[in-house]
Chain A
Amino acid sequence: MTEAVAPPGAPTQAGPPVRRGRATAGAGRLAALLVSPTLLVLTVVVLYPTLMALKESLYGAKGLDPATGFISDTEPFVGLGNYAEIFGEAGARFWNAFWNTTFFTVVTVGLETVIGVAMALIMHRAFRGRALVRAGILVPWAVPTAISGLLWRWIFNSDGVANALLGQQILWTTEGFHAKVAVIVAEVWKTAPFIGLLVLAGLQVIPREVYEAARMDGARPVRQFWHITLPLVKPALLVAVLFRCMDALRMFDLPYILVGAQKHSVETLSMLAQNEASNVRFGPASAYAVILFLYVFLIALAFVRLLGTDLAGGAPGARRRGKEVAA
């Protein structure tokens, strides 16, 4: 599959202006020299494939010569034709996939966040068998998505565990809203631990004294959670949610394996790109990939700008470059 979706968020600030009184020209040169390997690597692994995908998306599929029966060797240049087709002729399918992708992202990330935070709070507690619980919670995250897709397909089989528990004969892998539910359940099961893990890391750096002081002031556990835990864990949580959003927007293997290809109820943008690529139409496939890339990139940008997600790993809330967000 030609995944032209480069990890966004990378080009945050390549070489910020050094504001240290008087930077000498020599120091500036040295700085440039020192970041150049990084820039080179980023160019090769991020920028170049992205540009190649952009270029490829301007070419159409190879045509068949009716006289000889052979496909031509070269791809015709069609300019923005692929994009026109996506928003025109293939519009219905594209928008369906677009809404599916968005719907999956919003719902799964929302559920994962709630469940993940709950998991983190449980893992953070000191109790007997904590190590076992931590390990247990992490198991779904350790399972490869393709395998968990097969696992859940077996659970959601017509005579599977899910139907036995519900006592109903729901055909989960047919078209319809239930197929969406199946994907969401499997996705949340798999990725909530990831959010739990990152939030746990955030929880462990909160000093105990803060909670002691809150108790002295008579704050109840619920209030402690809303006023202390959540604000202090927010930077870690935002990074986790951003990562999950980007992953969910590119969702491919789970619906593909669990419900199947060509199922419009669960078709995502990645699946459209894969479908074009598998039919040897690399131009249109790249066009889908570019659109998906822009979508993911905009969402990531919104996170960094509007919510002040701190990807550079500075002190929480120190460098606010976007809007001032009242914590």
Chain B
Amino acid sequence: MTTRTTSSAAALTAAGLLLTACGSSGGGSGQAGTPSFEGRGPITYVAGKDTTGTVQPMLDRWNAAHPKEKVTFIQLPTDPDAQRQQMIQNAETKSDAYTVLSLDVVWTSEFAAHQWIDRLPEKRYPLAKMLKPVVETSRYRGGLYAVPSSSDGGMLYYRTDLLKKAGVAGPPTTWAQMTAACAKVKKLPEAKGMSCYAGQFQKYEGLTVNFAEAVNSAGGTVTDAAGKPDVDTPEAREGLDFLARSFKDGTIPKKAITYQEEDGRQAFQSGDLVFLRNWPYVYSLAQKSGIKGKFAVAPLPGLNGPGSSSLGGHNMAVSSSAKNKATALDFIEFMTSEKNTRTLLEDASLAPPYASLYDDRALVGQYPYLPVLKESIVRAAPRPRVVPYGDVTAAVQQEAYAVLNGDKSSAQALRDLQKALGKAVAR
């Protein structure tokens, strides 16, 4: 590198630094209230990498119909943390590079509280046709800040062939039934070396999902509707104890403490597990594996009856520093329409927000798990809807992991968690 290029590069960097310095100090006008959605013209749609190739054809259809309001697809990394990072950077620098954001459901509160996304007019969108828990994920303090584009819920995968052989009538609806069914299956010669159950217990977001499911399925909560932590309860302890006990007595295999979604799927497909808690995406992959036709799905079991899943999925929001917001509103309407969410289900197996699609004959033929998934979503409890979600999920992972590892009693962990959550939310 010659000196000349270095100094010109340095000059560029300096200019860039000055620009960002000016840009980031220029805030102050973000007044609350419903913003005016004005301006039409080209916009961008920002989401994680589209691995199935379903998004671009949709955008092409939009662009053909709106030649003056073309949408450019900006693909971010597949890692959700990296996506969030880049969206925050865009918002903090008040850049207009991003218009419509595809947000993970747990980011809604944070993005809304920071006023990185605009409050949307409710009347524009067919929210009444959507499943209620799904719509709830796009609200912050009663206001609508995003529109659901896809959902996701946990289901119980189980080995039909083994259950039948062991004389178990159907899938379990309670944890006790699951353990009992498993004990029967374990007596079979072909179940040699199998473990009963696994979910996602590595110290990452999946653990928060599984912990919240265990707590909610026992009638407890992590945070109440207003986002206040309320986890130091007997119900929550019942839920956490189920997981801790299962680790202790071998119902969950020791190595499941390192499991993420994929590890569990591999174990289930290679015949190591009788029951598995996982997302719908596993279904079509397992149908192509060695256990094809030997498994089915059921709603998650709970303490005294069917359990309660955590919700996944994505919502679409408008970046507050964007231009051409009128186009953005139309585009969100287009993307979250029944027709397009149906396409997303057919081509990318993303669960739709619309209730009607789950009862569609043709779709159920293609995806036999849809009725179960609908049940799972209707009964679902959202993960804590709090502004500092990163701190909350870190605290949950910290305590839950300590309990599953046997380093802490569940009572102590929940006391500590209540304290930690109180501190995080009060920040």
Contact = CB atoms under 8 A, between A and B. Distances in A.
A71 interface: yes
B189 to A, nearest CB: 23
B113 A175 contact: no
Interface stretch (B216-224, B322-330, B388-396, B411-419): B388-396
Given A64-B113, A169-B254, A44 B13 contact: yes
Interface stretch (A25-33, A213-221, A259-267, A304-312): A259-267
B57 interface: no
Interface string B375-405: 0000000000001101100100110010001
A278 interface: yes
Contacts of B390: 278-279
B88 interface: yes
Interface string B108-122: 001011110000000
A159 B267 CA distance: 10
Contacts of B51: none
A261 B204 contact: yes
B14 A44 contact: yes
A174 B27 contact: no
Contacts of A262: 203-204, 394, 397-398
B394 A280 contact: no
B28 A73 contact: yes
B34 interface: no
B3 A37 contact: yes
A139 to B, nearest CB: 26
Given A171-B254, A173-B258, A260-B202, A278 B427 contact: no
B30 interface: yes
Nearest to A41: B10
A5 B81 CA distance: 22
Nearest to B425: A64
A221 B3 CA distance: 46
A318 B258 CA distance: 54
Interface in A39-67: 40-41, 44-45, 48-49, 52, 61-64
Contacts of B397: 262
Contact of A171 (B6, B81, B258): B258
Nearest to B272: A159
SS class of chain A's interface: helix, strand, loop or mixed? Answer: loop
A128 to B, nearest CB: 38
Contacts of A37: 3, 6-7
A174 B263 CA distance: 15
Q: How large is the interface on B (under 10, 10 to 19, 20 to 34, 35 or more residues)?
A: 35 or more
A63 B426 CA distance: 9
Given A40-B10, A169-B254, A175-B405, A71 B17 contact: no
A69 B143 CA distance: 11
A104 B371 CA distance: 51
A41 B27 contact: no
Classify the secondary structure of B's interface with A.
helix
Contact of A71 (B3, B13, B114): B114
Contacts of B115: 70-71
B52 interface: no
Contact of A278 (B14, B32, B85, B113): B85
5 contacts: A64-B387, A69-B112, A262-B394, A279-B390, A280-B88
Contact of B202 (A62, A159, A173, A279): A173
A175 B405 CA distance: 9
A257 B186 CA distance: 36
A159 B3 CA distance: 53
Given A171-B257, A171-B258, A70 B32 contact: yes
Interface string A88-106: 0000000000000000000
Contacts of A52: 17, 21
A261 B258 CA distance: 13
A52 B25 CA distance: 13
Contacts of B405: 174-175
Contact of A279 (B3, B254, B391): B391
B66 to A, nearest CB: 33
Contacts of A13: none
A154 to B, nearest CB: 11
A68 interface: yes
B140 interface: yes
A263 B203 CA distance: 8
B387 A169 contact: no
A157 interface: yes
Contacts of B3: 37-38
B335 to A, nearest CB: 27
A278 B81 contact: yes
B388 A279 contact: yes
B46 to A, nearest CB: 18
A63 B425 CA distance: 11
Contacts of B14: 44, 48
B255 interface: yes
B141 interface: yes
Given A69-B141, A73-B28, A169-B255, A44 B114 contact: no
Nearest to A280: B88
Contacts of B30: 70, 73
A261 B80 CA distance: 14
A229 interface: no
Contact of B255 (A45, A69, A159, A279): A159
Contacts of B84: 278
B394 A68 contact: no
A174 B10 contact: no
Contacts of A45: 10, 13
Nearest to B110: A280
A158 interface: yes
